[in-house]
Structure 1
C-alpha cells in the first residue's frame, strides 16, 4: 500500500512538471490522474487498490459516529425515564479478527460508545467480554457487533 501512495505522489509531481505549473491545483489534478492510473493497473498487476482502504477507514469513522449518536440517545432515554427499566448484562462476543491490533480497536470502539464497556479478553484473544447497560437480547447484540464494527474493521485491515 505504501508504494502505491508513493507512486501516486510521484505521478502528481510528474504531472506538475509536464504541465509546467507548480500549484496545489495541478498537484491535485495529477493526484487524481495517478489514482485513475493505479485503479486501472490493479487489474493487471493484481494488487489491492490502496484508496479502497482509505474509503473503508472513512466508512469505519462514520459508522462509529453514527453508533455514538445512537448510543447517546439510548443512554439519554434511560437516564431521563422516570422508571429504571433496563436489563444490564455481560455478553461474550466471539470475534473473527486475527491480530491483537484489530481486537484492541474493536474493544476501544465498543468502550467509547456510551452504555457499553469492554471488560476483558479470553486468553486466546478470540472472545471479548462486554458489559452493556441494556441488553434485552444477547444474540441480537452479538450479531449487531459482528455486522457493524467487526465487519468495518475487517474491511480496513484485510
Structure 2
C-alpha cells in the first residue's frame, strides 16, 4: 500500500480539492482526481521521504479555527492602520526561538504567519531554531512571541510531535 499511496493524507486532500474545484462528483472527475492524487503522492515521495503523521487530528480543526479567527482579526487591524496612519511607521522584526523541529509543523507555521496580514516569515535558522518575522505594525515584540507560541506552536507541537 505504501508504494501505491506513499502519502495518503496528501492524496486525500488533493482528491477533495480536485472535486471542489471541479464542482462535480461525477465518475469522470472522481477517476481523474484519484489518478492525479495518486500520481502526485508518488511524485512527492522524492521530496517528502518521510510520511506525514498527525498525532491528534482534532487539534487540526482547532488550529484551523484559531488561525481563521486570527486572520480575520489581523485583516481588520491592518485595515485600521491603513485608514488611520500614524506619523511614523512602526514596522519591525521579531526574532523568536521555536521548540518545533518537525519539518511539516515548521511549514504549517510559516504558512500561517505569512498568510496572516501584517506579518511575514522571513528566515529560519535551523542550528539555533530561531525564526525571523517581519511585522507591519509592531507595537510589542513580546506580545507577538507569546501569541505565536501559545496559539500556534503549542497546537502544532500537539499535532505533529
| TM-score higher than 0.5 | yes
Q: Is 1:124 matched up with 2:136? A: no
Map of 1:151 onto structure 2 = 154
RMSD: 2.1
Structure 1 residues 14-64: Cα deviation after superposition (integer angstroms, max 9, x where no partner):
xxxxxxxxxxxxxxxxxxxxxxxxxxxxxxxxxxxxx98221010010011
2:95·2:133 contact (CA, 8 Å) conserved in 1?
yes
- The structure 1 segments of at least 4 consecutive aligned residues displaced by more than 6 Å after TM superposition are none
Please identify the structure whose Cα radius of gyration is greater.
Answer: 1
Map of 1:78 onto structure 2 = 81
Q: Is 1:66 matched up with 2:69? A: yes
Q: Is 1:95 matched up with 2:98? A: yes
Structure 1 unaligned runs (5+)?
1-50
Structure 1 residues 87-110: Cα deviation after superposition (integer angstroms, max 9, x where no partner):
111111110002222112111110
CA-CA distance at 1:84 after TM superposition: 4.9
Superposition pairs for residues 1-158 of structure 1, below 5 Å? 53-84=56-87, 86-124=89-127, 126-158=129-161
Distance 1:57 1:99, change over 3 A: same
**Greater RCO (CA < 8 Å, at least 6 residues apart):** 2
CA-CA distance at 1:83 after TM superposition: 3.7
TM-score, normalised with respect to structure 1: 0.63
SS in 1 for 2:56: helix
1:78·1:84 contact (CA, 8 Å) conserved in 2?
no
Q: How far apart in 2 are the matches of 1:84 and 1:75?
A: 16
| Greater share of helix | 1
TM-score, normalised with respect to structure 2: 0.62
